[in-house]
């Protein structure tokens, strides 16, 4: 067992599988592994094979499964358009879990995540926007008029915690707000006088997210300072010393 950041409990993958196989009672798993580079489906099959009956899995999926919905709102029952490899992978993971009858599953389809990582392991998209704006006076987005559902990382963390603690089952959209890319980066552009430009690749996705089901189950909560504008202002001030125009710091 490895201690990291003051927390005990880290085990090698194979050691975890052996431990799970030896258990008789159900366990709760929060699955955050993300992507083909980690052979996610293979690891997920290995997990399912050893999970005791009555176990509960909270699975990190993605709203990108809705693909191009022409900017329209999508509930959990909306048609899926699996236009990216990531979306196809995540839907396959959803199916593996939900088609295993001896366990229960909460599938959390997350919106586009933002919010700085205090561990500095993951580069946040707000930080990327502000860095580009400072260095190049531009902010590059896939398509300014395309919609996404957006989610602060703390909102995502609370959703996983509640889904695991309460053993909530079902499929849930988890996105706190909808905005086009132009709207999402507007605060960063305003703070830095940056121009919003389009990237070289065609954006295949355009959707809004309805998340009332997640709110109804207590999976989606919002706290002050977590909206995109407030988060962008905080990151700009903390990392770059940039304050809103007209703010003299008094």
pLDDT bracket for residue 250 (50, 70, 90): very low
List, in sequence order, the alpha helices (H) in 73-217: 85-98, 125-136, 153-165, 181-184, 186-192, 212-216
What is the mean predicted confidence (pLDDT) over 52-71? 97
Q: What is the pLDDT of residue 34?
A: 72
Of 3.40.630.40, 3.30.160.270, 3.40.50.460, 3.40.50.720, the CATH number of 2-240 is 3.40.50.720
Q: What is the pLDDT of residue 76?
A: 98
pLDDT at residue 249 above 50?
Answer: no
pLDDT at residue 1 above 50?
Answer: no
Q: What is the pLDDT of residue 2?
A: 46
Range from 12-16, 93-97, 115-119, 188-192 carrying the lowest mean pLDDT: 115-119
Which residues, including other chains, have CB under 8 Å from residue 219's CB and lie 6 or more apart? 108, 158, 159, 162, 163, 168, 172, 174
Nearest of 172, 157, 176 to residue 227 by alpha carbon: 176
- Give burial (CB, 10 Å; 0-12/13-18/19+) of 15: exposed
pLDDT bracket for residue 200 (50, 70, 90): confident
Range from 2-11, 90-99, 146-155 carrying the lowest mean pLDDT: 2-11
- Measured CA to CA, the distance from residue 100 to residue 48 in angstroms comes to 8
Q: What is the pLDDT of residue 227?
A: 97
Rg (CA), the chain: 20
Q: What is the average pLDDT value for the chain, to the nearest integer?
A: 92
pLDDT at residue 78 above 70?
Answer: yes
What is the mean predicted confidence (pLDDT) over 162-176? 98
Q: What is the pLDDT of residue 69?
A: 98
- Measured CA to CA, the distance from residue 31 to residue 191 in angstroms comes to 37
Q: What is the pLDDT of residue 33?
A: 80
The residues with which 57 forms a beta bridge, in sequence order, are 29, 105
210-246 pLDDT, tens digit each? 999 999 999 999 999 999 999 999 999 988 898 876 5
Q: What is the pLDDT of residue 116?
A: 86
CB count, 10 Å around CB of 41? 15
**Domain parsing of the chain, residue ranges:** 2-240
Q: Is 28 in contact with 58 (CB distance < 8 Å)? A: yes
What b-and-e string marks burial along 66-88, b requiring 16 or more CB atoms within 10 Å of the CB? bbebeeebbebebebbbbeeebe
103-149 pLDDT, tens digit each? 999 999 999 999 988 777 778 999 999 999 999 999 999 999 999 99
Q: How far is CA 160 from the centre of its chain?
A: 11
Residue predicted with more confidence, 121 or 96: 96
pLDDT at residue 201 above 50?
Answer: yes
Asked whether the CA dihedral 164, 168, 169, 171 is positive or negative, the reply is: negative
């Amino acid at each position: 067992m490895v201690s990291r950041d003051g927390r005990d409990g880290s085990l090698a993958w194979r050691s975890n599988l052996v431990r799970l196989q030896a258990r008789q009672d159900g366990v709760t798993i929060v699955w955050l592994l993300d992507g083909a580079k980690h052979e996610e489906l293979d690891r997920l099959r290995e997990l399912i094979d050893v999970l005791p009956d009555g176990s509960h899995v909270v699975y990190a999926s993605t709203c990108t499964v809705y693909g191009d919905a022409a900017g329209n709102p999508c509930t959990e029952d909306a048609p899926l358009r699996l236009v990216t490899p990531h979306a196809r992978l995540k839907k396959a993971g959803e199916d593996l879990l939900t088609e295993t009858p001896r366990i229960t599953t909460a599938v959390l389809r997350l919106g586009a995540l933002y919010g700085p990582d205090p561990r500095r392991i993951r580069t946040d998209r707000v930080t990327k926007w502000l860095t580009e704006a400072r260095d190049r006076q531009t902010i590059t987005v896939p398509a300014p008029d395309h919609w996404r559902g957006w989610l602060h990382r703390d909102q995502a963390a609370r959703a996983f915690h509640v889904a695991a603690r309460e053993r909530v089952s079902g499929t849930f959209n988890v996105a706190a707000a909808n905005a086009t890319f132009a709207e999402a980066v507007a605060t960063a552009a305003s703070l830095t006088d940056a121009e919003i430009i389009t990237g070289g690749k065609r954006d295949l996705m355009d959707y809004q997210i309805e998340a009332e089901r997640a709110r109804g189950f207590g999976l989606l909560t919002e706290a002050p300072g977590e909206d995109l504008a407030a988060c962008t202002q905080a990151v700009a001030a903390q990392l770059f010393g940039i304050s809103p125009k007209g703010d003299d710091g008094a």
